[in-house]
Amino acid sequence: MRGGLFFSSLLFPPPPMSSLPTSASSSASPPILPSGPVPVASTWRDRWAQGRWSNGTLVYGSSGLVLLFALLLLGDFAWSLKERAVTPVAQVLLKQMQASDLFIALVVGSVPAGLGLLLGPIVAVRSDRHRGPWGRRIPYLFLPTPFIVVSLVGMAFTPDLGAALHSVLGGASPGERVCALIVFSLMWSLFEVASVTANAVFGGLINDVVPPTLVGRFYGLFRATSLLAGMAFTFHLMGRAEQHFAAIFIGIALIYGLGFALMCWRVREGEYPPLEDAPAAHDATSAAGGALGRYLRECFTQPYYLWLFLAMTLGLVAGNPVNSFGVFYAKHVGLGLDGYGKYLALTYAISLLLALPVGWLADRWHPLRVGLTAITAYGLAMLAAGTLVREGGQFALAFVLHGVLSGIYLTGTAALGQYLFPRTRFAQFQSAMSLMAALGYMVVPPLMGAWLDATGNEYRHTFIASGALALGAALAFVMVHRHFQRLGGAGGYRAPE
C-alpha cells in the first residue's frame, strides 16, 4: 500500500498552496474551494483529498485529473500504435513489392516530412486562432480521424487494388507491381495529410488542458503508453508483418478510430483569451502574405529560438538513420524480423521502466538539462557502435542502447516546448520547430538511403550518421542553455514574445 501511495504522489504531487486558483470561468465548472484558510495536510491522503490543479480556466479535482489523464492516454495509445506500427509494416510491404531503399526513404520518409513542412504551420496557426464550441484543438484532431482509418484500410488492400488498377488500365498499365506502388503511394499520402493535421495540434491540446506543474510527469506517462503500444506490436506482430500486413493495418485502423474519437468526444477545453485583431488586408493574396510574414517574423527572427529549433530538430532526426534502416540491418546480420521485433520490444520494456522517473527528473531538473545530457551520451554511444559493430550480437546490443538512450532523450525533452515556448502561441512555435524537423526528415532518409545504396548496404554507417547528428544537437543545446540562463534560468524564465 505504501508503494502505491508513493507512486501516486510521484504522479500527482499536491500543488503549492500559493498556486491554488481562487476563481475560474463558470464555463469550466470548477469545484468549490474552501472560503477560509486551507489547512495544512498531514498525510498523503489529506493532500490528495484537498488537491486542486488548474490550467487557465480549467480546474481539476483529484478524480477529474485522473479522468483527464485516462482519456488523453487512451488517445495517446491509439496515436502511438499508429505512429510506431504503420511505418515498419509499410516498409516490409514495400520491400515485398521490390521497392528500392531510396524509394522507401522518399515515400515513407520524405513525403511525410514535405507534407508536414507545408501543412503543419498552417494547421497550427489556424488552431491557435480558432474559437468554437469544441475548443481550438479538438476539431483539428477529430476531423482527420476518418481519413486515417480509410487510408489504413486502403493500404491493407494495396495488392488487390494494384491488381484491379492493372486490369483496368489494360495495355496502358505500367505493370501490376508499379500499379501496386502507385496505389500505396496515394494511400500513404492521404494517411500522412490526415496524420500531419492531427499531429500538429496534439501537443497543443496537452499544453491547453494538462496542469503545467504536472506536464513532465504526464509526458512520462505519455511515453510509457507509447512504449506499451510499441511493445505490443513489436513483440507479437512484427515477425508476422510479411504474412499478415493486411490484418495489422485494419486492426490499427479500428483501434485508432475508436480510441481517438472517444478522447476527442470526452476531453473538454477551457476558455481562451480573445483574439488580437489581424491587420486589415485589401485582398486574399495580401492577407496570406501578411500572415506568412507575421509568422516568419515572430518565429524566426530571434537567435534564441533559432538555436532552440536547431537543437530540437537535430535531436529528433538523430535517431532517424538507425530507425529507418534498422529492420534491414537486422536481416543483414541474420537476426531476421522476429529477432528485430524482440530486441525492439526489449528497448521498449527498458524505456518503459525509465519513463516515469525521467519525466519526474525533467520536472525537477528541467527538460533542457536532461536533453543535453541524454543527447550527448547517445551521440558518443552511436559513434562507438558504428566503429565496433560487426555481427548480430553486437548489433543487438548497440540497437538496444540506441533505443534506450534515444528514449531517455525523447521522454526528457517531451515537455521542452511547454517550458520554453510562449504559452499563448504554443502551437505556432511548435509548428515552427516541426517545420525545421520536417526539413530534416526530408533530407536525412533519402541521403541515408543513397549512401547505403552507394556503399553496398553497409548498414553500420547508420550508427555513425545518428551519432554525428546527435553531437550536433548537443552543441546547439549548449547555445540554447546560454540564452536560457540570460532569460532568467530555471527559477525566473520568461519566454521572449
Tell me: the pLDDT tens digits for 133-156?
888 999 999 999 999 999 999 999
CA distance 469 to 319: 8
Domain 62-270+298-492 has CATH 1.20.1250.20: yes
Nearest to 482 by CA among 297, 356, 308: 308
Q: What is the structure's pLDDT at 128?
A: 85
Exposed / middle / buried, residue 40 (Cβ in 10 Å: 0-12, 13-18, 19+): exposed
* Positions in the chain whose pLDDT score sits under 70: 1-51, 113, 276-290
Q: Which three cell numbers stand for residue 467?
A: 551519432
Q: What is the structure's pLDDT at 277?
A: 58
pLDDT tens digits for range 319-337: 999 988 888 888 888 887 7
CA distance 221 to 114: 30
Q: Is 60 helix (H, G, I), strand (E, B) or coil?
A: strand
- 411 contacts 219 by C-beta, under 8 angstroms: yes
CA distance 329 to 395: 8
Q: Which three cell numbers stand for residue 365?
A: 531538473
Q: What burial letters (b/e) apply to 184-216, b meaning 16+ CB within 10 Å? A: bbbbbbbbbbbbbbbbbbbbbbbbbbbbbbbbb
Residue 488 to residues 55, 86, 420, 480, 496, Cα–Cα distance (Å): 23, 42, 11, 13, 11
Q: Which three cell numbers stand for residue 392?
A: 548480430
- 91 contacts 327 by C-beta, under 8 angstroms: yes
pLDDT tens digits for range 39-54: 333 443 544 555 678 8
* Torsion of the alpha carbons at 392, 397, 403 and 409, rounded to the nearest 10: -150
CA distance 107 to 188: 8
Please name the residues in contact with 324: beta carbons below 8 A apart, sequence gap of 6 or more. 105, 108, 109, 445, 448, 449, 462
CA distance 281 to 103: 43
Q: Is 324 helix (H, G, I), strand (E, B) or coil?
A: helix
Residue 351 to residues 75, 344, 462, 473, 489, Cα–Cα distance (Å): 20, 11, 22, 21, 29
CA distance 236 to 422: 42
Q: How many helices (H) and strands (E) does the chain have?
A: 21, 2
Q: What is the structure's pLDDT at 27?
A: 35
Q: What is the structure's pLDDT at 449?
A: 85
pLDDT tens digits for range 234-260: 777 777 788 888 999 999 999 999 999
Q: What is the largest CA-CA distance in the chain?
A: 84
Beta bridge partners of 54: 59
Q: Is 464 helix (H, G, I), strand (E, B) or coil?
A: helix
Please name the residues in contact with 238: beta carbons below 8 A apart, sequence gap of 6 or more. 88, 337, 338, 340, 341, 344
